[in-house]
Amino acid sequence: MDITLSGHYGYRRILRSVLPSIGMVLVTSVYSIVDGFFVSNFAGKSGFAAVNLMMPAIMLLGSLGLMVGSGGGALVAKVKGEGYPEKANRIFTMLVHFCLQVGIVMGLLFALFAPTVARWLGADAGMMHECVVYGRLCMIGLPGFVLQMAFQSFYMAAERPQLGTLMSVVSGVINILLDALLVWGFRWGVAGAAVATSVAQLVGGLYPMLYFSSRRPGRGSLALMPKVRVLWPYIGKACSNGLSEYVGNIAMNIVGICYNLQLMRFLGQDGVAAYGVVMYIAFVYAAIFIGYNIAITPIIGYHYGARNLTEQRSLFRKSLLIILLTGLAMTLAAEVLSGPMSRLFVGYDAALTALTAKAIRIYMLCFLICGISMFVSALFTALQNGVVSAVASFARSLVFELVCVWLLPALVGIDGIWWAVNVAEVLTLVLCIFLVRRYAGQLLSPSR
């Protein structure tokens, strides 16, 4: 299915346009989930906890690609909307090369300092070796991971979202098959999980470079040029515009680290394992909203560049309704399926299963409203207002939740850790309503 950024978007066209991106992000989220499933069931609770301790730090690095892709995708779409396709290709090429170089450098640095990072994350002596092995082997695939995260937004800007879905499916299948072979078959434990993830990420990140390097017909409305001069203002604009997405991921993973520190303090490895399962479900749920935002941001950005305010208002209002209904459905599913989802990962331990099911039921209430806050942040990215977008994302993912995760356990006990995200989301929703009224009030006015 090909799409175009121009023209009017009704509900059916919005859904047809965003579903490939949602599928792409959903399948991409399979990496850590599949690793966790195989490690937990075939390598034990200690290896499972080690994977979950290191994952936030790895995601921090991979999310550099999300920052460049989100901001760059909106920028490229805007330039296309203004009628400058050649300039859009030059910016696209610069940003892709930048992501590859950043991935290589960051991977080398992380591998060098992996033991130090593991200690900072709270690894004890019994987990240290597995944490370091998993972290270092995951760095093999980091350049591909950064590119893969960046291309998630560029696929939509290139009007080829179906390619993103296809690549995610291929990479996900590779990851699953290699996990089954290396973790279950060869019993390589966390090392096998890391190798499986790295190979899948390299495939998912490097193949699109080959695809967009071809100038054959049907390869999309963007192309990688053989050689371009680096213009740092465009890279800076893409990074600043996508800062909210990176800040959101930084904050989410910093908060995840703090959750793990608190849980190690109150519950030990069981707490970290339970939180790991909660996060796997949250990854899938958040992927739906992230995929929606990845697709809708270039569309809004295109109409912003084309100065089509009527269509911007229409997209804004339709998106709010879609997100609210989706959040309600996901929350109900989590409440009903908390037991089966817990048993899938930690069914070998009855006490841990009960703890995990309770955590899911409390934590997942946040998805009733968190999609709105995520969309507001993406909206300001599309409107080229990276500062306001970053404020919304930073407040949501770091300030409010970080305060709550440290404060609430002191007030109400261990359950306060699971309730922290819900309190933070209510505070964020209030902030987002203010930001939209203050900085995007034209979208609330009646269409003329």
Q: Give per-residue pLDDT as tens, 263-273.
A: 878 787 788 88
What is the 3-state secondary structure of 373-437? HHHHHHHHHHCCCHHHHHHHHHHHHHHHHHHHHHHHHHHHCCHHHHHHHHHHHHHHHHHHHHHHH
Which residue has 């300039």 as its token pair? Answer: 87
Average pLDDT over residues 251-263: 78
Tell me what pLDDT residue 96 has: 95
Inside any domain, residue 423: yes
**Per-residue tokens: 224:** 């990688």
- Cα–Cα distance for residue pair 296/233, rounded to 1 Å: 25
Is residue 56 a part of any domain in this protein? yes
Contact by Cβ (8 Å): 102, 146: yes
- Segment 200-228 shows an average pLDDT of 81
Q: How far apart are the first and last CA of the chain?
A: 32
446 pLDDT higher than 70: no
The predicted structure's pLDDT at residue 111: 96
% of the chain exceeding 70 in pLDDT: 94
Indicate if the alpha-carbon torsion angle 248, 420, 128, 50 is positive or negative. negative
Query: Cβ neighbours of residue 412 under 8 Å, at least 6 residues apart?
Result: 419
Residue 192 lies in a domain: yes
Our measurement of the distance from residue 214's CA atom to the centroid of its chain's CA atoms, rounded to an integer in Å, reads: 28
Helix, strand and coil content of the chain, in percent to the nearest 5, comes to 85, 0, 15
Q: What does the pLDDT average to over 39-51?
A: 81
Which contacts qualify for 402-407: CB closer than 8 Å, 24 or more apart?
A: 402/251, 402/254, 402/255, 402/258, 405/255, 405/258, 405/259, 405/262, 406/258, 406/262
| 254 pLDDT higher than 60 | yes
**Pair 299, 312: CB distance under 8 Å:** no
70 pLDDT exceeds 60?
Answer: yes
Domain hosting 25: range is 11-443
pTM of the predicted model, to two decimals? 0.70
With cut-offs at 50, 70 and 90, classify the pLDDT of residue 136.
very high
Res. 262: pLDDT tops 60 = yes
**240 domain residue, yes or no:** yes
User: Considering the domain boundaries, does residue 1 fall inside one?
Assistant: no
Mean pLDDT score, 382-411: 83
Average pLDDT over residues 389-415: 83
Confidence of residue 447 (pLDDT cuts 50, 70, 90): low
- Tally of domains within the chain: 1
Tokens linked to 67: 């920052």
pLDDT at residue 259 in the model:
82
Can you read off the two tokens belonging to residue 394? Answer: 């930073």
Q: How confident is the model at residue 448 (pLDDT cuts 50, 70, 90)?
A: very low
Cα pseudo-dihedral 265, 271, 276, 281, rounded to 10: -130
Between the ranges 133-142, 181-190, 259-268, 370-379, where is the mean pLDDT highest?
133-142
Residue 239 domain-assigned?
yes
**In contact, 387 and 447? CB cutoff 8 Å:** no
Residue 448 located in a structural domain: no
Please check the confidence at residue 107 and state whether its pLDDT lies above 80. Answer: yes
Band (217; pLDDT cuts 50, 70, 90):
very low
pLDDT number for residue 29: 72
Lowest mean pLDDT, pick from 57-66, 219-228, 337-346: 219-228
Stronger pLDDT, 151 or 272, i.e. the higher one: 151
Residue 329 is predicted with a pLDDT of: 96
Give me the chain's average pLDDT, please: 87
Flag whether 6 is in a domain. Answer: no
